[in-house]
Structure 1
């Protein structure tokens, strides 16, 4: 079955907390690395990107006993690729799955919850920086894979201030968590999005686009395609383990605790 060129509808854009859904099979093939790939018309699986790891879970092909275990999810040119193995078949399946088959999707709940807590915590740290006198740091990127999680900023923190700022940042972030606040994600017209983000959007957001804006509590929003907690209090607790500046960049290392 050849790879379909139609963009995949991203259902997690509309509902970040839905872990079970159905979709229609569009393509099944083997990738260049030998892994099986399923493409669906829509998905609740988050593909790796934006500093957030991919979801895992499984797919069930209706009217069959076929279960596809999803190990990785990637996005290419708007098409979401679900990589994995067929369970109970030694990981292999040489047959051709019929296009148009209905599929049930189930996302691993524990992994999704950890990932969106970490991702939301990174945004919360961004919000807290000006509150502790580090407003000069410019957001760079968030990352929480095997050697993370951390967030990176342009700018430096003086060595003699790092330890105090680390403690202040943790206290401020956890104070906001204790207050709680709704987290929302909406696709908006460019001007509406800019207004919600303090009047300006990053240069990488095209002026003719309709960006997805995430707002955490009553704080200014920011463009983001990831998944997030329903309420700030769901982050539970942030532990800031280190602030490190090098070559004009600052990294803040953190984790989330129960």
Structure 2
């Protein structure tokens, strides 16, 4: 059930999440379900909802995709600066601005294109964070429970419930870097599956966890990972890293 332009979309909207199937699909066709106006970060913006999209919304510790939504002839263009999935819904909101006088309308077919460089960077950073889980287990450090991750380019990290004694942290950093390098060189395939509870799981380097993010095809595509710091963060231990 599609709303007319200007109406707030209802929860019956549904967007097919094409980014679940292929990290490296950078474009797709879609149809407009709804268009409406909003305030985003204190500025007037438009939101476009489609029946399917390759754009990954911000969330789960991963930064938003950006890109464009255009009419097939290119005469209408919408610059997407942020993508989000409202809580308890199944539709994706593309937030941005029209750069042409003419605007899209409900029911219109469109072409969606993402910034491929940003997508690949996000995937490498996110997969690198998961690879650390495998590195810890392979090193025999099994007392840490993954808690949350921040897989943004500006200072990614993973937090674990538990602790690493301060006097051991430099040694663990060195061991993690050695083990991560080994896992990357082995080019281990990244496996995405759906469990019996219909939850999406991602296995990077041999360890699985629930995840809705975009990931590389194999560990070699991470290219390089360097753990830079381990510190206490409230009740957790935070492991900061960069991709090389």
Both proteins in one fold, TM over 0.5: yes
How far is the alpha carbon of 1:133 from its aligned partner?
3.6
* 1:85 to 2:97 alignment: yes
1:35 is matched with which residue? 45
Counterparts of 2:73 and 2:138, CA distance in 1? 56
1:104 is matched with which residue? 111
Counterparts of 1:224 and 1:153, CA distance in 2? 16
2:232 is matched with which residue? 245
How many residues are matched? 232
Q: Check whether the contact 1:132–1:165 (CA below 8 A) recurs between aligned residues.
A: no
* 1:124 to 2:131 alignment: yes
| Aligned equivalent of 2:31, options 24, 30, 35 | 24
Counterparts of 1:131 and 1:232, CA distance in 2? 15
1:46 is matched with which residue? 56
Change beyond 3 A, Cα 1:134–1:24: same
Q: Indicate the SS of the match to 1:177.
A: helix
CA RMSD after TM alignment: 1.6
Q: Check whether the contact 1:215–1:221 (CA below 8 A) recurs between aligned residues.
A: yes
Q: Check whether the contact 1:156–1:246 (CA below 8 A) recurs between aligned residues.
A: no
- The TM-score with structure 1 as length reference comes to 0.85
Change beyond 3 A, Cα 1:182–1:112: same
Change beyond 3 A, Cα 1:17–1:146: closer
* Structure 2: gaps of 5 or more residues: none
How far is the alpha carbon of 1:63 from its aligned partner?
4.9
Q: Indicate the SS of the match to 2:58.
A: coil
2:20 is matched with which residue? 13
Change beyond 3 A, Cα 1:145–1:181: closer
Counterparts of 2:38 and 2:169, CA distance in 1? 46
How far is the alpha carbon of 1:146 from its aligned partner?
6.2
Aligned pairs for 1:151-190 (under 5 A) are 151-190=158-197
Aligned pairs for 1:201-240 (under 5 A) are 210-217=198-205, 219-240=206-227
Q: Check whether the contact 2:133–2:207 (CA below 8 A) recurs between aligned residues.
A: no
* Structure 1: gaps of 5 or more residues: 191-209
Q: Deviations over 1:53-73 (max 9, x none)?
A: 010111112356111111000
- The TM-score with structure 2 as length reference comes to 0.90
